[in-house]
Amino acid sequence: MKKEKKHIILLTPLFTYFTFFFFAPMFVLFIYSFWLKTSTGLVPTFTLHNYLYIFSNKLYPITILRSIRIGFITAIICVIISYPVAYSLTFKYKKLQDLVLYLILISLFSSYLVRVYAWKTILGSNGIINQILKYIGVIEQPLTFLLFSPTAIIITLVFILTPFTILPIFSSLQNISVDLIEAANDLGANKFKTFYKITLPLSMPGVITGFIFSFTISTGDYVTPQLVGGTEGLMIGRIIQDQFGMTYNWPFGSALAYFMIFLLIFLINCFIWITSILKLKRKF
């Protein structure tokens, strides 16, 4: 078993890192979610009080629903934009593949925070969008919903997350052998039928991955909403952050966090189930 021992040794640094900086903290938080916060401090116990507290105030469910709504819309827009790009890169503009992948990489070079600030400028009353619209005469007064609103959050997150949604979709499209497309054509499928029956189902795993990626990140984001979200853009990430900040209610924060985790897992599975229903609808 020497080979296996070598593998274990090589994986140890990674496992150690993950254990200390991921699994252990996650586990600690999970324990906290069953504790109580009192005026004297944290009381280790086992209670579902924190989870139930989520429903005690209208604020929390509303914020959760808003976060999911914003996250979902962002993810859907990301996927809808990414798919045609990934598709044309794979099947039509093959020579551009390297260039686009480099561009996606380059977008990583600038800090996330700086880009959100940039969007704050672009979307503002004196930002470039309003300036152009004013200049060509479409509007008189600047559009105010562009900034400090859920719309601003969606726009900003879409632009930040789309490059990364392109990657898994692109990868799964690449894995479709040209043989399969030709076989479909040969058997009588025109371009649309081939896409709907062969290409799309085979690329679904990539689409789902891209969706999961953009959905989870945007639902839980707490930086972008703070900068461009305004008062209507309060998302659950901010509330969780406060529990570990000013409010000092770690049990409740942990409960919120884990509630969101389970909720997202549930919703993602619903999404996957829906996509498989759509594919199998026409059984022949």
Partner 1 sequence: MTGTMPENKSAFVLNEICKNFGVVTAVKNFSLDVKDGEFISLLGPSGCGKTTLLRILAGFETPDSGEVLLDGKSILPLPAFKRPMNMVFQRYALFPHMTVYENIAFSQFLKKKPREETQEKVEKMLSLVQLEGFEQRKPDQLSGGQCQRIALARALINEPRVLLLDEPLGALDLKIRKQMQIELKNIQEKLKITFIYVTHDQEEALVMSDRIVLMKQGEIMQVDTPKRIYNHPNSRFAATFIGESNVLEGEVAHIHDDYLAINVDGLQFFAQRTAEVKEGDKIFLAIRLEKVNRKDKKTTRSFDNQFQGKIEDVVFFGSSVKYYIRISENVTIISEETIVEEESDRGEEKNIGDTVAIGFAKKDVNVFLE
Site residues for partner 1 per CB under 8 A? 177, 179-180, 182-190, 193, 197-198, 201-202, 284
CB of residue 76 vs partner 1: minimum separation in angstroms?
23
Residue closer to partner 1 (CB basis): 246 or 277: 277
Residue closer to partner 1 (CB basis): 81 or 176: 176
Residue closer to partner 1 (CB basis): 3 or 95: 95
Question: What does the alpha-carbon distance between residue 254 and residue 262 come to, in Å, rounded to a whole number?
Answer: 12
Residue closer to partner 1 (CB basis): 171 or 241: 171
Handedness of CA 124, 126, 130, 131 (dihedral sign): negative
Question: What does the alpha-carbon distance between residue 187 and residue 217 come to, in Å, rounded to a whole number?
Answer: 42
CB of residue 83 vs partner 1: minimum separation in angstroms?
18
Q: Are 209 and 171 in contact (CB under 8 A)?
A: no
CB of residue 178 vs partner 1: minimum separation in angstroms?
9
Spatial neighbors of 1 by CB under 8 A, at least 6 apart, are none
Using a 10 angstrom Cβ sphere, with 0-12 exposed, 13-18 middle and 19 or more buried, the burial of residue 54 is middle
Q: Which amino acid is at 221?
A: D
CB of residue 82 vs partner 1: minimum separation in angstroms?
21
CB of residue 186 vs partner 1: minimum separation in angstroms?
5
Residue closer to partner 1 (CB basis): 49 or 197: 197
The Cβ of residue 175 has, within 10 Å, a number of other Cβ atoms equal to: 12
Residue closer to partner 1 (CB basis): 140 or 179: 179
CB of residue 194 vs partner 1: minimum separation in angstroms?
8
CA distances from 13 to 6, 8, 19, 28, 268 (A): 13, 10, 10, 21, 31
Question: What does the alpha-carbon distance between residue 86 and residue 80 come to, in Å, rounded to a whole number?
Answer: 10
